[in-house]
Each structure stands twice: as C-alpha cells, then as structure tokens.
C-alpha cells in the first residue's frame, strides 16, 4: 500500500490485495465495486506496484475521455505521494484516436470524419511527402526537424502528466504533431491509457505493441467500465450495408468513372442500383405488413430476420449471374475502390472509397456461415435508409486476445451477474469473480418505488390515467423540494412523448433537457448549468437511462439529491434482441437473465449511482414503476412508498 495516495476507504485495501494476487498468478479478475468506491486508484496502485517489480507495462482501456482523465488524475496523485526515487518511473500517457489527435483533422471536416484506416493512409502519404519534398504535414515536419522544441515538449509531458486534450492543445500551440510525439513518449511509459479500439482492432493493437516494444504477455490489461465492453465488441464486429451508402457509391462512380465489372459487363452504378432495390424490397417484405387496402404498415417493427441466403439469391436472380460471377464482381469492386483511394491520396484528400467499402461488406457477407451472427434487414431513419446487417451475437469473437495478456482486470460498478460477463467475453472458467458492496453509509441513500405507475405499453393503453399519474409524481416532487433533481426515462422516445405534451411547463423551476443528438460540448454546458443550481433553488434535468449522463458523469453533494426513474429500461423486443436472447439461451441456458434482466438492472443501478459519490453524499431515488420489485436482488434497499412526498420529506429531514 505504500503507493496508495489517500487514506484508504472501506474495502480498498482488500481490493488492492485481491488485484495483486491476480497479477502474481497470471489470472483474470472480474470485479464489481460500487460507484465512487475508488476502483481506478485501487487498480492503478496494485498494477503499478507489480509492474515496477516485474518489469511489466499497463494498458488501461476506457470508453470515454472523462474516464481517461480520471486515470491520469489518479496517476498524478500516486506519483506525488511516491518516494522520490520512484517518481521518474511513474510516467504514463493517454492516447486517443487519430481523428482527435491529428491537428490537420482538427481543422478539416472531411479528415475529422475519417476512419482509423483512412487516416493512417493519409498520414503515411503526408509523411512520405515530408521526406521527399518541402510539402506534406507541417506538424510532422516540425517533429523531425525541431529537436529543441520536441525535447521541450517531452520534458513538459513528463513533468505535468497532462490530460490528452491539454496535450493536444500544447502541441497545437507549438505546431507539433501530438500523435508522433506520443509514439515516442509511450516507449518510456509504464502506463498507457487508450480507447477500447487500441486493443480489439488487430491492426491498431499491433501498432500499439510496436510502440510499447512489448508483446501481450508482458502487459497488464485493465478494462474500465467493463459492462460496456460486450456491446462495444458486438458493434465492432458487426457489418452493414445501407441504402444511403449505395447512393454514395453511385455518386462516387459519377466522379471517378463507372466501369463494367466482371465478364457480366454490368456497370458499378447498375449493380448498386440493383442492390438498393433489393434492400428496399427485403425491407418491405419482412419488416412491413400489407393492410387490406394495399397500404404498407410497419406495426412499430424496426427490423426482421433475413433468411441466410436471401440477399445473395436475389442478386443472382435479378442480374442473371452465377455465384462465380458475383465473386468476380466483388473482387473488381475492391480493385476499383483501391484505385479511387490511391487517386484521392495523390490529391491530398482522405483516401475514402465507398465502392471499396461495398466490396468489403459483400466479401464479409458472402463468407458468413456462423451461428454467432444474425442476418437482419433494418428499417432506419423513418424508412428513408433501410439496410441489411450482419449483427455479431457473440462478443467473445473479438475478445480472444484478452487471454494473451499477462493478467487482466475487468472493473465496473454494475457487472452483476458476474458469470454473465465472464461467459460473454469467453474468459476462462477459473476467472476470479468478486463483488464488493458500497463503502458508503447505507442510511445516506434511499430507494423507493410506487405501485400505481408503469411505462409498460399494454398497461398504459388500458389505463389512460397512468401517464397522468407519472406526470403528477414528477411535477409534485420537483415543485415541492428545491433540490437538484434528475428525471431518467427509458428512452428518448418516451422522454419526447412527455415533452410534446407541454408537461415541462408544470414544473416551476429551471428545466434542462438532454437531446439525443446533442454534441458533447453542448451536453457538458447543459450539465454545468444544471449543477450550478444546486446551491440555489434547485433545477430539474430530463435525461435517459443508459445515456452519457447516467453512465459517465459525477454529481457530488447538492449537485444532485433526487433521482426519478420513469419506468424500467427493458430492451426493445426487436429481431436483434430476440436473436441475442435465443443465442444465449442455446449457449448458456440463460437467455432472459443474460440479455434482458442483467442489462436492464445495470441501467437502473447506473442511473441511481449518480446520487452517491462519496461518504458525505446523501440522495433519494424513486422508481415510478411497479415492476421495480423484480430487481430487488440488484437493489437490496428497495422499499415501496405509500405516500411519496411524505417519504421523501422524511428522508430529507433526517
């Protein structure tokens, strides 16, 4: 514990000892510890101690920039507390994707939207120009030519341990490439903090390993907010082809030529138009239903399962080609797409080709014969952008690399049931599963629920008074108690339903509303304004469970004292969700528990967790849904309220 920079809270010594044992035995740990319990500093303390003694390095992966900042903040505290002889070795850096760290991308909208692969190609071309002429990226040129400025930057980073955003700003002022500077700094770092993709994208992972000059078995992997990782991997290893992407392909060939593909002599544009028609027709057939008067109706369906070979069968039939000819078309698309990429690169543009993306998707789709994927047709953007999708059901497809690391620590405040995470990620059966209770006084938090409200669709349809009761509960609490109050809805759709009825006008204080497509900076400004009311007359914030506010933001003390949970955030019964549930039922015999109950409980617990961040915080949460009692095992202090206003008043007075 000599590296631990604070007075230990309850359970922290035990957590550090547990992690130390896991590292010593080259094991894997799935750790749940309540919000605000100091998981980050505990993991860093144990991992740094071990890394210093056994010449290892730590790769700490996070989902958001704010989580990345927290890791570097704790590293600063640890280094400040450590003895002088250790301080130079306690050096760490944070890295973000090229889109964030490339200064050219910062000032160029097209570049800022590039993928990691596209930006990598663009960067390589710019660096080549620097070495062969006076052109190319000025930021990279300064890195290789201005040694004094580079050394000054190295010294500043080693002294300050800056957040990534501050580091980028510093490099911007010095006209230096932060990405290239970081590559050199990493070699001396004992800790590197990176987004998930740096570990789970094979190309980017190999690049990171090269920078570190280490193999996986020389690295300790720490996964922050691990409950997000399975869904992240499902999305990362899924693939889709949309109507809009095919339109982009057609626009691309107007500019760069419209060659015939394969011996079939079909033009690229005709091929893309045919695929567009097929996707639209598949959507109409499987997602829509036809009413008696011939009008198509969605019936609130978003997606549907697609028979395994339906898409390719339609292509062969409509174009009168063979499977061999289709394979040749795909190969020709890839070759033509590469030529477009090369031409754009020569022009100093982002080397993006939609035709190449199309070829990659078709190659992936045609070779997909796995029960670990579901083939779907999806109706997106209110019918304007239908798509087909190969949805990854099994995140362990992309998680196999985890077993190569020396040891791994998977942490979150909401991971129950721990077996579900272990099984989903394909971790070994001997993985250590450990859960620690909240270290804060139980009397500082109260969780209530009412029995006469719900967001269950069929009950709201039967009883028109339910929505009114929910409105009355929200307005009564907000207007009675001048405390900062957060109202969490299951989805933006339900939030907008209340907003559209002018319900917010009933609330007699400042009201803030999170919008679905709000930028990160706008959201941070909104949250800052909301927090500032805590010391005044209180305010109300309307948000959603499972969103950016409910999962990644702190509201200490009076910044948040009351949380109203409107309904239970069960996943929508889409084809994608049914496929996931069926897969887990067949694989683990726990379809409902793993894919419905556990994710719903996590969203509830995460939202309630905004209330208590340290031992001095006090807060009360109210779930406006009778189904809350189903989650008693996740919320042990859950109680029914017969008189909500009276119960809240009693808690506040006590």
Percentage of the chain modeled with pLDDT above 90: 78
Percentage of the chain modeled with pLDDT above 70: 98
C-alpha span between 79 and 87 (Å, rounded): 6
Beta carbons of 363 and 383 less than 8 angstroms apart: no
The torsion angle over the Cα atoms of residues 34, 577, 590 and 596, rounded to 10 degrees, is: 40
CATH architecture of 98-188: Orthogonal Bundle (1.10)
**Average pLDDT of span 94-120:** 90
The phi, psi pair for 22, rounded to 5°, reads: -60, -45
Beta carbons of 447 and 623 less than 8 angstroms apart: yes
- Which of 252-256, 378-382, 609-613, 632-636 is predicted with the least confidence, judged by mean pLDDT? 609-613
C-alpha span between 432 and 31 (Å, rounded): 8
- The length of the chain, given as a count of residues: 654
Hey, where are the domains in the chain? 17-91+194-230+401-439, 98-188, 239-392, 442-653
Provide CB contacts within 8 A for 493, sequence distance 6+: none
Which bin fits 265, alpha (ψ -120 to 50), beta or left (φ > 0)? Answer: left
C-alpha span between 599 and 424 (Å, rounded): 13
What pLDDT sits at residue 604? 94
CATH of domain 239-392: 1.10.275.40
CA 83 to each of CA 71, 72, 86, 92, 149: distance values in angstroms, whole numbers, following the listed order: 20, 19, 6, 17, 30
CATH of domain 442-653: 3.40.50.300
Q: What pTM does this model have?
A: 0.92
What pLDDT sits at residue 296? 61
C-alpha span between 301 and 295 (Å, rounded): 15
- Which of 334-348, 389-403, 427-441, 526-540 is predicted with the least confidence, judged by mean pLDDT? 526-540
What pLDDT sits at residue 460? 87
Task: Give the pLDDT band of residue 630 (cuts 50, 70, 90).
Answer: very high
More confident residue, 502 or 224: 224
Provide CB contacts within 8 A for 293, sequence distance 6+: none
What pLDDT sits at residue 346? 87
Nearest to 315 by CA among 357, 353, 360, 264: 264
Which H, E and C letters describe 185-231, residue by residue?
Answer: HHCCCCEEEEECHHHHCHHHHHHHHHHHCCCHHHEEEEECCHHHHHH
Nearest to 317 by CA among 308, 305, 309, 307: 309
> How confident is the model over 275-327, as pLDDT tens digits?
999 999 999 999 987 655 555 666 668 999 999 999 999 999 999 999 999 99
Helix (H, G, I), strand (E, B) or coil at 519: coil
Q: What is the DSSP pairing of strand 239-242 with strand 387-392?
A: antiparallel
What pLDDT sits at residue 243? 97
Residue 41 has pLDDT above 80, yes or no: yes
Topology classification of domain 17-91+194-230+401-439: Rossmann fold (3.40.50)
User: DSSP state, 628?
Assistant: G
Helix (H, G, I), strand (E, B) or coil at 617: coil
Residue 576 has pLDDT above 90, yes or no: yes
User: DSSP state, 572?
Assistant: P
Provide CB contacts within 8 A for 474, sequence distance 6+: 487, 503, 507, 564, 566, 624
The torsion angle over the Cα atoms of residues 33, 34, 35 and 37, rounded to 10 degrees, is: -70
Residue 140 has pLDDT above 90, yes or no: yes
Q: Do domains 17-91+194-230+401-439 and 98-188 have the same CATH topology?
A: no
Which bin fits 95, alpha (ψ -120 to 50), beta or left (φ > 0)? Answer: beta
Query: CB neighbours (10 Å) of residue 500?
Result: 8
C-alpha span between 270 and 374 (Å, rounded): 28
Q: Which residues of 60-80 are buried (b: 16+ CB within 10 A; e: fewer)?
A: bbbbbbebbbbbbebbeebbe
| Structure token pair of residue 288 | 């829509």
């Amino acid at each position: 514990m000599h590296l631990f920079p604070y007075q230990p809270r309850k359970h922290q010594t035990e957590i550090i000892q547990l992690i130390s044992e896991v590292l010593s035995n080259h094991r894997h740990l799935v750790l749940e510890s309540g919000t605000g319990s100091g998981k980050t500093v505990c993991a860093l303390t144990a991992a740094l101690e071990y890394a210093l003694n056994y010449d290892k390095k730590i790769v700490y992966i996070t989902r958001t920039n704010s989580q990345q900042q927290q890791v570097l903040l704790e590293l600063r505290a640890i280094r400040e507390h450590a003895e002088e002889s250790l301080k130079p070795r306690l050096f760490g850096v944070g890295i973000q994707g090229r889109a964030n760290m490339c200064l050219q991308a910062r000032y160029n909208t097209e570049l800022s939207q590039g993928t990691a692969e596209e930006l990598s190609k663009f960067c390589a071309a710019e660096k080549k120009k620097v070495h062969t002429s006076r052109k190319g990226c000025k930021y990279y040129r300064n890195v290789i030519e201005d040694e004094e400025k580079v050394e000054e930057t190295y010294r500043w980073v080693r002294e300050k341990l800056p957040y990534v955003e501050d580091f980028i700003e510093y490099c911007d002022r010095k006209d230096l490439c932060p990405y290239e500077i970081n590559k050199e700094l990493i070699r001396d770092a004992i800790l590197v903090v990176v987004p998930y993709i740096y570990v789970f994208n094979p190309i980017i992972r190999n690049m990171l390993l090269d920078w570190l000059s280490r193999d996986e078995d020389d690295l300790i992997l720490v996964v922050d907010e691990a409950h997000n990782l399975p869904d992240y991997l499902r999305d990362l290893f899924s693939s889709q082809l949309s109507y809009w992407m095919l339109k982009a392909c057609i626009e691309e060939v107007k500019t760069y030529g419209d060659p015939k593909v394969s011996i079939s002599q079909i033009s690229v544009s005709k091929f893309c138009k045919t695929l567009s028609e097929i996707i639209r027709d598949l959507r109409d057939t499987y997602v829509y239903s036809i009413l008696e008067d011939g009008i198509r109706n969605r019936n609130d369906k978003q997606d549907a399962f697609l028979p395994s070979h339906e898409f390719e069968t339609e292509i062969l039939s409509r174009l009168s080609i063979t499977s061999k000819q289709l394979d040749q078309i795909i190969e020709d698309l890839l070759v033509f797409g590469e030529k477009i990429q090369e031409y754009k690169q020569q022009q100093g543009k982002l080397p993006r080709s939609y035709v190449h993306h199309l070829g990659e998707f078709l190659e992936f789709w045609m070779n997909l014969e796995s029960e670990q994927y579901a083939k779907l047709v999806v109706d997106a953007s209110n019918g304007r952008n239908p798509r087909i999708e190969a949805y990854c059901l099994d995140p362990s497809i992309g998680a196999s690399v985890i077993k190569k690391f020396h040891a791994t620590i998977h942490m979150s405040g909401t991971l129950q049931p721990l077996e579900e995470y272990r099984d989903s990620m394909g971790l070994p059966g001997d993985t250590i599963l450990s859960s620690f209770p909240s270290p804060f006084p139980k009397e500082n938090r109260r969780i209530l629920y009412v029995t006469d409200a719900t967001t269950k669709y069929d009950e709201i349809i039967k009883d028109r008074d339910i929505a009114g009761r929910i409105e009355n509960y929200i307005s009564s609490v907000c207007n009675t108690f001048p405390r900062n109050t957060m109202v969490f809805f299951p989805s933006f759709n339900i939030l907008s339903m209340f907003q559209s009825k002018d319900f917010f006008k009933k609330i007699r204080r400042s009201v803030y509303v999170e919008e679905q497509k709000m930028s990160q900076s706008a959201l941070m400004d909104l949250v800052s304004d909301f927090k500032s009311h805590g010391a005044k007359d209180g305010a109300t914030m309307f948000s959603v469970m499972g969103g950016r506010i409910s999962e990644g933001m702190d509201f200490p003390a009076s910044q948040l004292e009351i949380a109203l949970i409107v309904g239970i955030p069960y996943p929508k019964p889409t084809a994608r969700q049914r496929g996931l549930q069926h897969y887990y039922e067949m694989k683990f015999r726990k379809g409902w528990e793993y894919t419905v109950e556990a994710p719903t409980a996590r969203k509830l617990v995460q939202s309630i967790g905004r209330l208590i961040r340290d031992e001095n915080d006090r807060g009360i949460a109210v779930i406006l849904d009778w189904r809350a009692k189903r989650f008693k095992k996740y919320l042990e202090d859950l109680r029914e309220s017969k008189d909500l206003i009276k119960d809240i008043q009693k808690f506040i007075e006590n």
